[in-house]
Amino acid sequence: MGHGIAQTLALSGFEVNLTDAKSEAMAAALERVKSNLSTLAEHGVVTRAECKQALQRLQLVDDATEAVKDARFIIEAISEDPELKKRLYVSLERSCREDAIIASNTSTIAISELAQPLRRRERFVGMHFWNPPHLMPLIEVVVGDETSEATVEATVALSRRLGKVPIVCRRGVLGPRLQGALMLEALKLVQEGAASAEDVDAVTKLTLGLRLPIMGPLQIIDFGGARTVLHGLEHLPKDGDRYAVPRIIREYVDRGWLGVQTGHGFYDYTEKDRKESIRLRDEWLIQKLKERKAASKKPKRHSRG
């Protein structure tokens, strides 16, 4: 993901040094950046002039210590190997400025664990981009036990300058945890013979996948009604803790926080909010329906064997 992160920074006006232990990896990264920029320009997201300027801001540097010596912000995106990362951080800390922030793009390893060998742990933070970094809008700013608030604020500010939407995570990343839960359940369904891989993916894409861009899972609970959702969750198959119902939804039901029908759930609602949310949801789904119909009417190309 390093090349996509470097591209995002360069497009946003930052001078960027891109480095890798292998020179061939750097050369390949530069070609991927050029290809990505060309695609963005073709679709009118950026101009050809902006692409050229971004490439001028992006430098390939063979020596990592040379690459970071004047850097104010360093983002690591190497393999998800904690020991390899820690050795790199120690080397970077020796070479970089005292006031530099070191950020990790890790999606799986605890920031506090990775910070252990560092002297300036308060200037170490998680900065989790989603793949592909130049297209996905969210950045998870992950706080370690000793990460300072100044470091968090600087990382949030940088994320916004990149045109991203930052969220601050104080107990590890959120997205991979949500995604992991879905992947694990999908794997179990196929493993148990409950469904084929094709059917599991079809259910995900044609139901959850259509609604989630406009309405997150907690909003879906609010619109479905907490009591109704609770009853549904209670009737899922019993399999140890696999479908254990979190107590938070029982507490909401006990308090009468049922969602849009009572005006309060995970969010607060006025009648205007409720109608606007439904309008946006339905317009989104109608657009997707029209796209599917248009795609189905396109003539299919048949290859000749």
Catalytic residues, by residue number, are 128
* Closest to 162 in 3D by CA, of 291, 9, 289: 9
Q: Alpha-carbon distance 127 to 102, whole Å?
A: 9
Positive or negative CA dihedral for 286, 290, 296, 300?
Answer: negative
Other Cβ atoms less than 10 A from the Cβ of 97: the count is 13
| Interior angle at CA 216, CA 210 and CA 218, nearest 5 | 135
* 3-state secondary structure (DSSP) of residue 76: strand
Annotate 109-135 with b (16+ C-beta within 10 A) or e (fewer): bbbbebbeebebbbbbbbbbbbeebbe
> Could you tell me the two tokens for 28?
């390949």
